[in-house]
Amino acid sequence: MTKIKSTAIVVLLSMLVAGSGYSQVAKVSPEKAKMDKFINELMSKMTLDEKIGQLNLPSIGFDVTGPIVSTDVDKKIKSGFVGGVFNTFTPSAVKKLQDIAVNETRLKIPLIFGFDVIHGHKTIFPIPLGLSCTWDVNLVEQSARIAAQEASADGLSWTFSPMVDIARDPRWGRCAEGSGEDPYLGGKIAAAMVKGYQGSDLSKNNTIMACVKHFALYGAAESGRDYNTVDMSYVKMYNEYLPPYQAAVDAGAGSVMSSFNEINGMPATCNKWLMTDLLRRQWGFEGFVVTDYTAINEMIDHGIGKDLKDVSGMALNAGIDMDMVGEGFLLYTKELLKEGKVTIQTINEACTRILEAKYKLGLFDDPYRYISEERANTEILTAANRKVAREIAEQSIVLLKNDNQLLPLQAKGTIALIGPLADVKREMIGTWSAAGDNNKSESVKNGIKNLFGENVTLISAKGCNLLTDRTFLAEICGKESVDPRSDDEMIKEAVEAASKAEIIVAVLGEPAALSGEAASRSDIGLPGRQLDLLKALVATGKPVVLVLMNGRPLILDWESKNVPAILEAWHLGTEAGNAVASVLFGLRNPSGKLTMTFPRNVGQIPIYYNHKNTGRPYAGNDEKYKSRYLDVVNEPLYPFGYGLSYTTFKYSDLKLDKANMKSNETLTATVTLTNTGKYEGTETAQLYIRDCVGSITRPVKELKGYQKVSLKPGESKVITFSITSKDLAFYNDKLEFKAEAGKFILFVGGDSANNLESSFELAQ
């Protein structure tokens, strides 16, 4: 018996024992009964071809992210061969296609319209990795709510978000699209996004259906190379990688997207254990599953099926309902049925799930409910939406270093604003901002001018091109981004500009296209000649503030040792420039905390805070036979949870209300947090727990709670954390979720590395 099968059996048995899932007769609500009746009646009228047509999702319009491009979409809609369409928006474009579905097909079944609304539709918020650094689920939900409001006003009913893949490898360009490395925080953010998109009523015209992706484990690609193999123990999967997907499903996400990668030898897209046993039976997911872009076709290259017909049957039988772009379902389902390789029941189930999604979106009541020129004209990129985007962008910035309180800057005198990202709009909105308009975003230069133009004199210089390979640069950032001068010439000009100023602000980093899909990098330092530029600026002896814009943790070894102040600003979205200016000059005290570890060098990767201890943990005393490197310390440059403020915080007086806790009790931990600096500020106090002895080995610590607290200078607050045995539970080697009796260490602090600690025992 394969491991996958035996795991599935363990999972099924545990469900039956627990009396959940299939062993119970579910009560059907009147709304569900009404929907079932409607769908059953509709299904009874549908031909096999019409049912198969619902399973097909072509792309028409903007972005193409794979080797196959959909053709003849209008014609296929007319023939009833299309269930939904993606990459098309604006009321007029959507209406054109919906008109065909509603007026020219036999059963008038409306289309669902999808799009990658990843961090905003037209008002672009920070890239998700940046957004997660707010640690603020209300802000995250608000960003998704606004995204849904704008997208739905633009004809869309479905977003391919949230992307909840845990990422521990910054070489992987798609870590920009997720919430970092932690399953607990990742789960909270995933749920908040689903809530933001879907609201409490999917059928409203300003809510859209979420699609959790990429199911599953896409972020664990070997060596950070996109689409690469994933091989992982079930215990690791359940404890460390699956929680955010489950949290999104529990929050009611209407759809799930299968990932490109294989998992332990079986591509996710034909993985029946994953799509049916785990997702539907164990987690109770009731929505539909769509593949990623041509993921079915790609199973041939994975080497799991001989041709498109073969892999299409495997995908359908695994529990996939909708085929994105590949058209294997469209072409071969009928034949597969004739040959007995798929059953009519499987086809019916897939079709039903897609029709149910349309029903829940209210499309059968009114296929045009998301199509309104008036809403498109009044609800998109509004001043109010931009205001929220700026607020969120400001709170996403992480202060990495601030020697001698160089920041905040005073709004006076002459500042040299240097760098290839200082005066551009284009890169601000980051990767996967497909509907975003670069021209609507603010550059840092404009931001400073907008907010402090009267008081500050700016001398600008580009300093160097973003990359040294000019052909590639033109390809990914446009010809206009390439400065024809040599980098040496530009560095010289920048140094001259710097010599006339009192302070240097260098805005450096990655262009947006260097992160995101198919944008893995093996060398994750500042690209091109940017480090040379920075060195030349530091060599002037003037104080330098480094503002970083990037889609992943970068290697910042030299920078961290030689530059006095560093702000991690990610790609912050439409309001990037204003947000950076606001933080630079102290209108906003930075409060972001990293959600992904920053390594010291590429050799440390993968590096994450919730690692295991090993049998030979290194304690820093130069012993040889210990788990360590000879050429670099084990600790990262900046740990998970890290982020400074213009003020300082002190943690004191950690107290537990009991030393022994029974499994039905709640343990209360209190700690005093004091603002010991000169500015009002916001701190995210983090609670970590270590399970000292387990039936399987446990991580050195795991995040189990946090609180974002604002304090005036000198002010103190007592923060309370409640811990129940659920917070101590984990999946054991039988994949049972249980807390085990014994000793636990509890840590509280401002990041994952610097904590107060105490301990307690959980009784049998």
| Residues in contact with ligand NOJ by the rule CB under 6 A | 63, 65, 116, 160, 213, 292-293, 517
Cβ 73 to ligand NOJ, closest distance in Å?
A: 15
CB 738 within 8 A of CB 729: yes
Among residues 116 and 751, whose Cβ is nearest to ligand NOJ?
Answer: 116
From CA 308, how far away is CA 377, in angstroms rounded?
43
Structure tokens at 235: 């215990």
Among residues 65 and 560, whose Cβ is nearest to ligand NOJ?
Answer: 65
Among residues 61 and 543, whose Cβ is nearest to ligand NOJ?
Answer: 61
Among residues 176 and 556, whose Cβ is nearest to ligand NOJ?
Answer: 176
Task: Report helix, strand or coil for 300.
Answer: helix
Task: Report helix, strand or coil for 423.
Answer: coil
Cβ 213 to ligand NOJ, closest distance in Å?
A: 6
Q: For residue 547, give the nearest of 535, 534, 558 by alpha carbon.
A: 534
Cβ 608 to ligand NOJ, closest distance in Å?
A: 23
Cβ 160 to ligand NOJ, closest distance in Å?
A: 3
CB atoms inside a 10 Å sphere around CB 764: 8
In 3-state terms the chain splits into helix, strand, coil percentages (rounded to 5) of 35, 20, 45
Among residues 59 and 372, whose Cβ is nearest to ligand NOJ?
Answer: 59
From CA 293, how far away is CA 287, in angstroms rounded?
19
Q: What is the CA radius of gyration of the chain?
A: 26
The one-letter amino acid code at 73 reads V
The H or E element containing residue 473 is helix 470-477
Task: Given the residues 292, 321, 487, 751, select the one marked as catalytic.
Answer: 292
Structure tokens at 485: 């001068």
Residue nearest to ligand NOJ (CB): 160
Structure tokens at 693: 């002895």
Cβ 517 to ligand NOJ, closest distance in Å?
A: 5
Cβ 270 to ligand NOJ, closest distance in Å?
A: 17
CB 456 within 8 A of CB 415: yes
From CA 498, how far away is CA 735, in angstroms rounded?
60
Sign for the pseudo-dihedral over CA of 191, 196, 200, 203: negative
The answer to whether residue 403 is catalytic is no
From CA 399, how far away is CA 592, in angstroms rounded?
7
From CA 260, how far away is CA 165, in angstroms rounded?
12
CB atoms inside a 10 Å sphere around CB 256: 29
Cβ 433 to ligand NOJ, closest distance in Å?
A: 13
What phi, psi does 702 have (nearest 5°)?
Answer: -140, 135
What phi, psi does 604 have (nearest 5°)?
Answer: -80, -10
Q: Which residues are catalytic?
A: 292
